[in-house]
A = this chain, B = another copy of it.
Amino acid sequence: MTEVVIVGAGFGGLEAAKALADAPASVNVTVIDKRNHHTFQPLLYQVATAGLNPSDIAQPIRQIIGRQPNCRVLMAEVTDVDPANRTLATTLGPIDFDYLIVATGATHAYFGNDDWERLAPGLKTVEDALDIRHRILLAFERAEASTDPSEQKRHMTFVVVGGGPTGVELAGAIREIATHTLRGQYRSIDTTESRVVLLEAGPRVLPTFAEKLSTAAADQLRSLGVDVFTSRAVTGIDDRGVDTGEGRIEASTVLWAAGVAASPLGRALSQASGVELDRSGRVKVGPSLTVPGFDNVFVIGDLAAATDAAGVTVPGVAPGAQQGGKHAVACIEADLDNRPRPEFVYFDKGSMATVGRSRAVVEIRRLRFSGFPAWVTWWLVHIWSLVGFRSRATVMAGWAWQYLTRRRDARLITNTPPLDP
């Protein structure tokens, strides 16, 4: 038997597992993930802002691939990797492999300020999204319970650090909640007076997009009432606000969308195989997406620092991970057939970000547009990409309802003690 082990059931790992459905009967597939669910990360900000439920954008891994006959799903954490002896250390004991596909993705980076993590959570998991949702909703409860105008103002100020797609989406959605969803439901405060600040250290928001789209996104955010500041780095965060090079902002809610670091399994792989890591801790794989010296060990998705056969840098987006997963499987099947392995050529499907209701930017190579047509494009692509039919139908229905009414029904605060004065 040929044992193929996939670590991580994100976009890359799942695509690899599905591609192995038609592998020869001699192939066994094991998918290991520390969670029991796949998360559709591009829509996590909707869970964080109470528009969608966790299960709208997350699906049990077993539900997706558990009935594939050659595929076993294990809920475990991989703690170490030994490519020379072809074995993994996991919380369920050692697991051997003939081929290994590492697809454990990325997490938040606070650039050495680890104490900021508690103060300004990032958005990578369902747990993160629920934490952020609770913070946003509790801030309004605290403002309503307070009688001190400066405290009320602080509770009604939301700072989002980082102007990439996640930061832009969060800032726009919080502003929409404040101005529409919650309006009129409080007595001591007027939620439409909430302040949402987006801080970007670089010279423009959405830095990976064309410059005219950055300008469009910033304009769209400002039209929603978001205060957008570029070239403004955060120098300090505490539990009452944020310090920047140009002054302090008092805010009880600070959210982090600024830095990404590769998952720690990259470091373990580097120590065991000698493969280099880049500054973010990503594994520098060859153009075939394998670790130098170990052509049976693939690294795909956000964990890989990869350049394809044409010299194009593979970006950390879902299509990059999915294409990496398919390529790894194509190589394994070529080996089994004694054929030469194919080359990896990344196909750019474009990128997009939404700023809020009817506002978005889309860049598909030379094609660049913004506003309502971009928002419709963004919406169709994301609905279509969601895993599983039920999610697709309920997310569509939920969003249609939300669009018509501006309601957000997932506004539950759970696991929280009562407010102190």
Contacts and interface: CB of A to CB of B under 8 A. Distances in A.
Nearest to A91: B418
Nearest to A65: B185
Contacts of A37: 411-413
Contacts of A393: 397, 401
Interface string A56-69: 10111011001100
Interface string A255-281: 000000000000000000000000000
Contacts of A390: 398, 401, 407, 409
Contacts of A58: 412
Contacts of A137: 36
Contact residue range for chain A? Answer: 35 or more
A414 to B, nearest CB: 5
A394 B55 CA distance: 13
Leading 7 A-B pairs by shortest Cβ distance:
A66-B185, A77-B418, A62-B185, A53-B53, A55-B410, A60-B411, A36-B413
28 contacts: A36-B137, A36-B411, A36-B412, A37-B412, A37-B413, A53-B53, A53-B54, A53-B56, A53-B410, A54-B414, A55-B411, A55-B412, A59-B409, A60-B412, A62-B185, A63-B411, A66-B185, A75-B141, A75-B419, A76-B145, A91-B418, A92-B419, A126-B414, A130-B414, A388-B409, A390-B409, A393-B401, A394-B394
